[in-house]
Amino acid sequence: MRNNLSTGETSRDLPEEVSRFAEAWRVFKKNTPAVWGLVIFIAFFIVAVAGWFLTTGETPVLDPAKVRLSEKLLRPLSPVNTDMVEPGDRPVFGIYLLGTDDLGRDVFARMMQGAWVSLTVGFVAVGISVVIGIILGGVAGYYGRARIKFMHVLCFIAFFASMILLASGRKEPALDLFVTSLLLATVSAVYHYLAARGGAGPRPLDFLFFDTFSVDTLIMRFVDIMLCFPSFFLILTIVALLPPNIYNIMIVIGLTSWMGTTRFVRAEFLSLREQDFVSAAKALGLSDISIIFRHMMPNAIAPVLVSATIGIATAILTEAGLSFLGFGVPPPHATWGNILAGGERFIFDAPWLMYIPGFSILTVVLSFNLFGEGLRDAMNPKLRKR
User: In Å, how far are 4, 154, 338 from 173, measured between CA atoms?
Assistant: 77, 17, 45
Binding residues with other proteins: total (CB under 8 A): 47
Report how far apart the first and last C-alpha atoms of the chain are (Å, whole number). Answer: 31
> Which residue number, 238 or 286, has a Cβ lying nearer to other proteins?
238
With contacts defined by CB under 8 A, name the span among 119-127, 189-197, 238-246, 260-268 that binds other proteins: 238-246
Among 80, 107, 177, 320, binds other proteins (CB under 8 A): 320
| Residue (of 334, 342, 356, 304) closest to 120 by Cα position | 334
> Which residue number, 187 or 255, has a Cβ lying nearer to other proteins?
255
Among 39, 240, 245, 288, binds other proteins (CB under 8 A): 240
Q: What's the half-sphere exposure (Cβ side, CA atoms, 13 Å) at 264?
A: 23
Among 238, 267, 286, 383, binds other proteins (CB under 8 A): 238
Which residues within the stretch 47-106 sit at the binding site for other proteins (CB under 8 A)?
none
Among 1, 196, 241, 284, binds other proteins (CB under 8 A): 241
Which residues within the stretch 333-352 sit at the binding site for other proteins (CB under 8 A)?
337, 340-341, 344, 347-348, 351
DSSP state for residue 7 in the 8-state scheme: S
* Residue 313 engages other proteins in binding (rule: CB under 8 A): yes
The burial class, CB within 10 Å (0-12 / 13-18 / 19+), for 35 is middle
> Which residue number, 36 or 209, has a Cβ lying nearer to other proteins?
36
With contacts defined by CB under 8 A, name the span among 120-128, 135-143, 299-307, 369-377 that binds other proteins: 369-377
Give the integer Cα–Cα distance in Å for 237 and 205: 45
Which residues within the stretch 251-290 sit at the binding site for other proteins (CB under 8 A)?
none
> Which residue number, 120 or 318, has a Cβ lying nearer to other proteins?
318
The torsion angles phi and psi of 80, rounded to 5 degrees, stand at -75, 145
| Residue (of 258, 222, 261) closest to 125 by Cα position | 258
Binding mask 159-198 for other proteins (x = CB under 8 A): -----xx-xx-x----------------------------
For the bound state, the minimum distance from the C-beta of residue 276 to other proteins, rounded and expressed in Å, comes to 31
* Residue 224 engages other proteins in binding (rule: CB under 8 A): yes
> Which residue number, 112 or 174, has a Cβ lying nearer to other proteins?
174
The torsion angles phi and psi of 335, rounded to 5 degrees, stand at -125, 165
The burial class, CB within 10 Å (0-12 / 13-18 / 19+), for 105 is buried
What is the residue type of 109?
A
3-state secondary structure of 91: coil
Among 242, 270, 286, 301, binds other proteins (CB under 8 A): 242
The torsion angles phi and psi of 79, rounded to 5 degrees, stand at -75, 160
Q: Which residues sit opposite 100 in a β-bridge?
A: 106
> Which residue number, 60 or 321, has a Cβ lying nearer to other proteins?
321
* Residue 31 engages other proteins in binding (rule: CB under 8 A): no
Angle at 219 between CA 214 and CA 224, to 5 degrees: 120
> Which residue number, 188 or 309, has a Cβ lying nearer to other proteins?
309
The burial class, CB within 10 Å (0-12 / 13-18 / 19+), for 100 is buried
CA 284 to chain centroid, in Å, comes to 34
* Residue 358 engages other proteins in binding (rule: CB under 8 A): yes
Contacts with other proteins by CB under 8 A lie at: 33, 164-165, 167-168, 170, 221, 224-225, 227-234, 236-238, 240-243, 313, 317, 320-321, 324-325, 337, 340-341, 344, 347-348, 351, 354, 358, 361-362, 365-366, 368-370, 373
